[in-house]
Structure 1
Amino acid sequence: ASQLPFPTLQVRGPGLGVVGVSKGAEVALAMASFLPQVVATVWINGTPSFYGNPVVYKDLRIPAIPYQPERAVFTEVGALDNSAVFPDPRDPAYSSSAIPTEKIRGKVLFVVGEADRSFDSKLFAQLAMARMPPENCRLLSYPGAGHLIEPPCSPLCSTSSMRKSPRPVAWGGEAQAHAKAQEHSWQEIIQFLEFHLGSVASRKL
């Protein structure tokens, strides 16, 4: 039987772009902090510190802020609201867990849903930005948008199951406001990445 050819993927370079949502945004911000080749980062409803697991990079070890699952509460439909599970990273006891965003050489676009029920994403974005030069970061904040801001036409996922969670998890968001946030943020993300990485249209075939 014949097989379809597998496309050859190449990194255009010289800089790299990283996009992350939730825990992925935490990882993306860490990559931007430690890897100089990351020149454009999109952080969507993430954290400004390491939570859950310590980070080890070369000779560096950064402790994580422990989750506090006993602080979770149930929503009106019986889902878990985890917004209180993430301790306040401003507590001096957790200062060593902060992602060193002051080391970021590239640009970061922070995208926030103000109706996020996972954690206070807007506060978290502001804390990360406070450690950065103002010219290296920008904040897009959307009232009524929830945690899972995805590409346009993706349906609002306000509640879903999650691995290792005993109950469905509440992500938040109002349908119309969330949809508008996805449409607007997607265009902003594309423009941001094209500006700092180069347009796909300019790629030589």
Structure 2
Amino acid sequence: LLSHFQVKGPNVGLLGFSKGGDLCLSMASFLKGITATVLINACVANTIAPLYYKDMIIPDLGNELSKQKITESGLLNLVDIWKNPLEEHNHRSLIPLEKAQGPFLFIVGLDDHNWKSEFYAHIASERLQAHGKNKPQIIFYPETGHCIDPPYFPPSTASVHAILGEAVFYGGEPRAHSRAQEDAWQQIQIFFQKYLNGKKSVQHSKI
């Protein structure tokens, strides 16, 4: 990232959404020079596939597809299929985010039907504090679903899942979700400006 011509440096910030979120958590935990990390509806455990880093393997959290539900409109609701990372036999899938050097911002949609983002954000907060680290910043958005895109993107309440190949329900009430996208965008700018550029007050993005 530092060698990319569009990266100012010397600090690097990460922004991850969904599966990209736990990948960013892993990068922040194991790589040097990560100054700030933003997670949008992310899990605190490694998901989907095992993660390999040097001589270490973090297994995926695992799921129980038998617990998936189907909405009245025929969409899959996956929120209950993921195993609990706090159960002892799933602990190895937890990402050691307490090793990270920089702060975290968790963006959480309280109507996320892809996975339990609020639950995962609380796990992250408790884990960091248990290791003597500062609490992460967590922003909760009521009636907001999984896909919190930049502002003025149409709210994505459902789409064909890249892995399953089936239509999945993501949640979110359109008006509340749209407002959350607008606010989250500004909060992300403020967070990165503070921890990457050292600016306490920033001009709001005009997007």
Larger Rg: 1
Which residue identity is paired with 1:154?
A: F
- Between stretches 130-139 and 52-61, larger displacement belongs to 130-139
- State the match for 1:139 in structure 2: 138
Secondary structure in 1 matching 2:14: strand
Secondary structure in 1 matching 2:95: coil
Report the Cα distance in structure 2 between the residues aligned to 1:137 and 1:174, rounded to whole angstroms: 26
- 5+ residue gaps, structure 1, are 1-7
1:122-167 deviations in whole A, cap 9, x for unaligned?
A: 0011111211145351100011000000111011110111224243
Correspondence 1:1-205 to 2 at 5 A = 9-133=5-129, 135=134, 137-198=136-197
Report the Cα distance in structure 2 between the residues aligned to 1:164 and 1:136, rounded to whole angstroms: 33
**Cα distance, 1:85 vs structure 2:** 1.5
Report the Cα distance in structure 1 between the residues aligned to 2:7 and 2:172, rounded to whole angstroms: 35
- Percent identity between matched residues is 36
- Matched-pair contact (CA < 8 Å) for 1:101–1:129: no
Which residue identity is paired with 2:194?
A: F
Which residue identity is paired with 1:74?
A: I
TM-score when normalising by structure 2: 0.88
Secondary structure in 2 matching 1:43: strand
- 5+ residue gaps, structure 2, are none
TM-score when normalising by structure 1: 0.89
Report the Cα distance in structure 1 between the residues aligned to 2:79 and 2:65, rounded to whole angstroms: 10
RMSD (Å) for aligned C-alpha atoms = 1.8
**Cα distance, 1:197 vs structure 2:** 1.1
Which residue identity is paired with 2:38?
A: V
Which residue identity is paired with 1:158?
A: T
**Cα distance, 1:170 vs structure 2:** 0.5
Which residue identity is paired with 2:148?
A: I
**Cα distance, 1:104 vs structure 2:** 1.1
Which residue identity is paired with 1:48?
A: V
1:26-56 deviations in whole A, cap 9, x for unaligned?
A: 1111111111211110100010111221111
Report the Cα distance in structure 2 between the residues aligned to 1:108 and 1:177, rounded to whole angstroms: 24
Secondary structure in 2 matching 1:119: coil
- Matched-pair contact (CA < 8 Å) for 1:51–1:67: no
- Matched-pair contact (CA < 8 Å) for 1:104–1:132: no
